[in-house]
Amino acid sequence: MDVDPEGRTSLAATAERAPAPWRRVLPWLSVGLAFAVVALVVAWALAPGLFTAQDPYTGVPADKLAPPSAAHWFGTDPTGRDLFTRVVYGARYSLLGGTVAVGVGLVAGTALGVIAGSIGGFLDELLMRVVDVLLSIPGLLLSLSVIILLGFGTTNAAIAVGVTSVAAFARLSRSEVVRVRRTEYVEAAFGSGGRWWSVLLRHVLPNSLTAVLALAALQFGTAVLAISTLGFLGYGAPPPTPEWGLLISEGRSHLATSWWLTTLPGLVVVVVVLSANRISGWISERREGAR
């Protein structure tokens, strides 16, 4: 039997190198938990009435600032409104805003990147310089500038956040298009008489969008966090809308005595963002494994 330099048999060395069962299962558990969290929050947004029977806008004054309990899972706010109910109904605004933001960045950024990467030349240089300018501007500053132009509100905040992600999508999609365009099967498609648009749609785009989808999942979590930040600063939905960032902002003045008003909605935002990031990582891992 073979012996390694440290005197162990090859069988023992292989057994030691083999990952423990929990190491193989843990990544799949984390991915499954991430998908479950996102599915739950999507269900909140689509059918909030299935998870709570209380009104998110009407409170009971006698129950104001009640701590978390069996009757009120997240406690109540200064007007007696159930905080869990407001978080559930607020998922609609935060997820819709995140979806709009990702959609703006995905469509506009991918279009710019595909055009730059497939045409090349002077147009490529021009578009990439525009992207460099967008990347040089801090995201929050750019978002605030767009909101000042469009006005306040969840939709406008989402568009503003989406504008900040255009450059990232454009950079990634351009690099993927350039990489795929140089592969042998694409060159063979051109050599066999394939038209530019036909080769682009049939070969280049399907093989270059996987990385863009992974970035979209990552940007969704980032967009939810950014929209919550804008809502916290007062640039999002107006009161009494139960938007997550606004809920966190409203609880600041009671943080010393009623910690749940800020802490629990903040934890929901953190869990959703981490779940979206884990899904993005899983998509990237699958993409790398498929290569």
Which domains does the chain carry?
81-290 (1.10.3720.10)
CA-wise closest residue to 267 among 101, 68, 102, 97: 68
Check pLDDT > 80 for residue 80.
yes
**Amino acid 12: pLDDT:** 47
- How far is it, in rounded angstroms, from Cα 72 to Cα 89? 15
pLDDT band with cut points at 50, 70 and 90 for residue 264: very high
Token pair, residue 57, equals 């806008």
Taking only Cα atoms into account, the Rg of the chain, rounded to an integer number of angstroms, comes to 24
**Amino acid 9: pLDDT:** 46
- If phi > 0 it is left, if psi is from -120 to 50 it is alpha, else beta; for residue 85 that is alpha
**Amino acid 247: pLDDT:** 92
Q: Burial letters for 123-150: b for 16+ Cβ neighbours within 10 Å, e otherwise?
A: ebeebbeebeebeeeebeebbbebbeee
The sign of the torsion formed by the CA atoms of 83, 88, 89, 90 equals: positive
- How far is it, in rounded angstroms, from Cα 248 to Cα 236? 12
Per residue in 183-239, pLDDT (tens digit) is: 766 666 666 666 666 666 666 776 777 778 878 888 888 899 999 988 888 888 888
Per residue in 94-128, pLDDT (tens digit) is: 899 999 999 999 999 988 888 888 787 888 888 88
Mean of the pLDDT values across residues 247-266? 90
Is the preceding omega at residue 19 within 30 degrees of 0, hence cis?
no
| Structural contact between residues 99 and 161, judged by C-beta atoms closer than 8 angstroms | no
Mean of the pLDDT values across residues 261-289? 86
Check pLDDT > 80 for residue 3.
no
Token pair, residue 115, equals 């055009």
Check pLDDT > 50 for residue 129.
yes
- How far is it, in rounded angstroms, from Cα 191 to Cα 184? 10
Task: Determine what percent of the chain is predicted with pLDDT higher than 70.
Answer: 82
Mean of the pLDDT values across residues 30-58? 92
Check pLDDT > 60 for residue 170.
yes
Three-state SS for the chain is CCECCCCCEHHHHHHHHCCCHHHHHHHHHHHHHHHHHHHHHHHHHHCHHHCCCCCCCCCCHHHCCCCCCCCCCCCECCCCCEHHHHHHHHHHHHHHHHHHHHHHHHHHHHHHHHHHHHHCHHHHHHHHHHHHHHHHCCHHHHHHHHHHHHCCCHHHHHHHHHHHHHHHHHHHHHHHHHHHHCCHHHHHHHHCCCCHHHHHHHHHCCCCCHHHHHHHHHHHHHHHHHHHHHHHHCCCCCCCCCCHHHHHHHCHHHCCCCCHHHHHHHHHHHHHHHHHHHHHHHHHHHHHHHC
pLDDT band with cut points at 50, 70 and 90 for residue 149: confident
Check pLDDT > 70 for residue 154.
yes
